[in-house]
Chains A and B, each alone.
Chain A
């Protein structure tokens, strides 16, 4: 695999601290969600991205506030990294009226328009063309906004992916296709779904830039995203960014799915040694940051999470009378 190199050298200490904070936050939030699922307090299907945190954090650090991100079934990390409110996400997962989708969506349908998150939805590959449309919209409106489509390796099995790449390349649209290649689509390994491990080559075929990075190295992800975003903004068109990673938990819920795939146990051990958070901590210690100050970050995040869980628990359920609301958008004034 020809991976783009780490961007650690060019990252400041503050930047690294902020990456670490972002990744820790996603991890701890999802570990907590995993517990809530295990205890059955949360019933909506939750797909955890533990082990993959460097990708949303690295990519979103390269974005402006008004850039948009689009996601799928495994999008807690995308939502949080782009600035979605934690309380609103937790309440959504609890099915509460204070949730970001007022309890209509659960974990698989997150939204925060003010933060550029117009919707994450679980139909695989569904939002890839929508991101292309957001880029087209930005281009037509002359805003220089960039759109990011986050999707998995499984989504590249769908025609949506290939058609979208071609369209975006053809019209040189400011879109970043971020493939979080965790080597699995539910129970099927990449090998069971394609002859070659060459997702990134789709880029060259369709005439756009294609880059593979170590998706567990937040600095590499950040640097590659920054370059791609820059090209998009100055009108040089789209990039496919393949981020190699691995999900530590099962397809859905907190368990590890060890029965899936012949090599799952070995792979998991290997990838856990390649933990994005531990690597970032190690990097910070070479920059003279003490582990105490890193630990204090985690402690603060834990407090924030418990507050979000309290908020969700104490929030009201949606009212039955809301059932038929918003099937259609409210009519706008002329």
Chain B
């Protein structure tokens, strides 16, 4: 093993998948431009040629539909949307088409496509360059949605997604790109639908997604210094999500904080909270807390951004609240 950043781990997964499987190809806006992709796709076009690494026109709808059509007919496309906001122009092919086809045609047609969407926010970019709308897609039957928070998972989940055989939304966050850790050199899968316990504890369960899982690591350290013993679960997949692990953890701690850096109303945190309350209500010793973004679009001004985004401190405050 050697140390890779999150972005390098994504790149390596792409390179190995492209090398391993001739059905894999990459298409999307900016796949050969660091302004869009950071180092996460660096020089793949040079390594695999521009027939398999296709930097497309500004045509989200057509490229997504085309990736789906290619998937249906035997390819394993990875579609790249450099921002989740731009992907919304392709809502129809994703939500009406890719999600439905297996069911619609009684399993005779599969859509093995990976649709990668990058959350790229902050930096005073504002409402249309900051969205994290994973809940919208997790809502739809037929789609799987993964959100890696570590370099190891970034690689393993991409590989699992490409091999899954279903439409998988792979959502990565630019705020995680510099995180580093040991990453195995070969191909390996992180199973879709399995969460990871990042720290075992007795007092409170914190379930966090994506960027908030990284923030939760910091929060947990602060809380440990204050004598609070947190069990931290990095959800990794938000559809399907690891109910068993979450239920058994909350069964043990009796307290739950869910952290998802997206809007609160109708969000992933709401789904988890409702499921826990509905299934293991008796285990709860305190109301469930959610750490999410306020229900407002992202502002630009640094002062307002500061007030808008959530992080480790908010997790700490919520954990202390559910322990009162």
Q: Are B300 and A185 in contact (CB under 8 A)?
A: no
A207 to chain B, nearest CB (A): 23
Query: Quick check: is A44 within 8 A (CB to CB) of the other chain?
Result: yes
Q: Render B132-170 as a binary contact track against A, CB cut-off 8 A, 1 for contact.
A: 000000000000000000000000000000000000000
Known: A187-B33, A187-B35. A45 touches B301 (CB 8 A): no
Q: Does B69 belong to the interface (CB within 8 Å)?
A: no
Contact yes or no, B35 A104, CB < 8 A: no
- Bound-state Cα–Cα, A193 to B30, Å: 12
Tell me if A320 and B35 are in contact (CB < 8 A): no
User: B301 to A96, Cβ gap below 8 A?
Assistant: yes
A158 CA / B308 CA spacing, docked (Å): 32
Q: Does B307 contact A (CB under 8 A)?
A: yes
The reply to whether the CB of B324 lies closer than 8 angstroms to some CB of chain A is: no
Interface residues of B in 115-132 (CB under 8 A from A): 123-129
Give residues of chain A (192-216) contacting chain B, Cβ–Cβ below 8 Å. Answer: 192-194
- Chain B residues within an 8 Å CB radius of A96: 301
Assembly CA distance A121 to B125 (angstroms) = 11
The answer on a CB contact under 8 Å between B307 and A185 is no
B residues within 8 A CB of A187? Answer: 30, 32-33, 35
Among residues 281 to 318 in chain B, which have CB atoms less than 8 Å away from a CB atom of chain A?
294-297, 299-304, 306-308
Q: Does B85 reach chain A (CB closer than 8 Å)?
A: yes
The residue in chain B whose Cβ has the minimal distance to the Cβ of A103 is B301
Tell me whether B300 and A327 are in contact (CB under 8 A).
Answer: no
Which of B58-66, B95-103, B210-218, B227-235 forms part of the interface with chain A?
A: B58-66
A122 proximity list for chain B (CB < 8 A): 126, 128-129
Cβ–Cβ < 8 Å partners of A322 in chain B:
304
Chain B residues positioned under 8 Å from A333 (CB to CB): none
Is B107's CB within 8 Å of the partner chain A?
A: no
Contact: A45 with B296, CB < 8 Å?
Answer: no
Contact A327 B297, beta carbon cutoff 8 Å: yes
Tell me which residues across on chain A come within 8 A of B30, comparing CB atoms: 186-187
The interface bits of chain A over 89-132 (1 if a CB of B lies within 8 angstroms of the residue's CB, else 0) are: 00000011001000111101100000000000111111000000
Chain A residues whose CB sits within 8 angstroms of the CB of B297 once the complex forms: 104, 327
Binary per-residue interface labels of chain B (16-59) against chain A in the complex, 1 for a CB within 8 Å, 0 otherwise: 00000000000000101101100000000000000000010111
**A68 CB to nearest chain B CB (Å):** 20
CB distance from B244 to the nearest CB of A (A): 37
Instruction: Check B124 against A95 for contact (C-beta < 8 Å).
Output: yes
CB distance from B261 to the nearest CB of A (A): 16
Any B CB within 8 A of the CB of A317: yes
Verify B59–A323 contact, CB threshold 8 A: no
Contact B301 A188 (CB under 8 A): no
Interface check A157, CB cutoff 8 A: yes
In the docked arrangement, what's the CA distance between A188 and B33, Å? 10
Question: A125 touching B58 by the CB < 8 A rule?
Answer: yes
Neighbouring B residues of A252 by C-beta, 8 Å: 35
* B86, CB-defined interface residue at 8 Å: yes
Q: Are B58 and A105 touching (Cβ within 8 A)?
A: no
Interface string of A248-259 (1 = CB under 8 A from B): 000110000000
Instruction: Flag if B123 contacts A43 (CB, 8 Å).
Output: yes
A157 to B60 alpha-carbon distance, docked (Å): 9
CB distance from A166 to the nearest CB of B (A): 16
Residues from chain A with a CB closer than 8 A to the CB of B303 are 95, 103, 317-320
Q: How far is the CB of A38 from chain B (nearest CB, A)?
A: 16
Q: Does B280 belong to the interface (CB within 8 Å)?
A: no
Q: Does B224 have its Cβ within 8 Å of any Cβ on chain A?
A: no
Would you call A234 an interface residue if the criterion is a C-beta within 8 Å of the partner chain's C-beta atoms? Answer: no
Interface membership of A159, Cβ < 8 A: yes
- Contacts A95-B302, A123-B85 given: A188-B128 contact, CB under 8 Å? no
- At the interface, yes or no: A155 with Cβ under 8 Å from chain B? yes
A77 — which chain B residues lie within 8 A by C-beta?
none
A residues at B contact (CB < 8 Å): 43-45, 95-96, 99, 103-106, 108-109, 121-126, 154-155, 157-159, 185-188, 192-194, 251-252, 317-320, 322-324, 327
Q: Name 5 A/B residue pairs within 8 A (Cβ), A-sorted.
A: A95-B301, A96-B301, A103-B304, A106-B300, A323-B294
In the A-B complex, the 7 residue pairs with the closest CB atoms: A95-B301, A103-B301, A157-B57, A106-B300, A44-B124, A193-B57, A157-B58
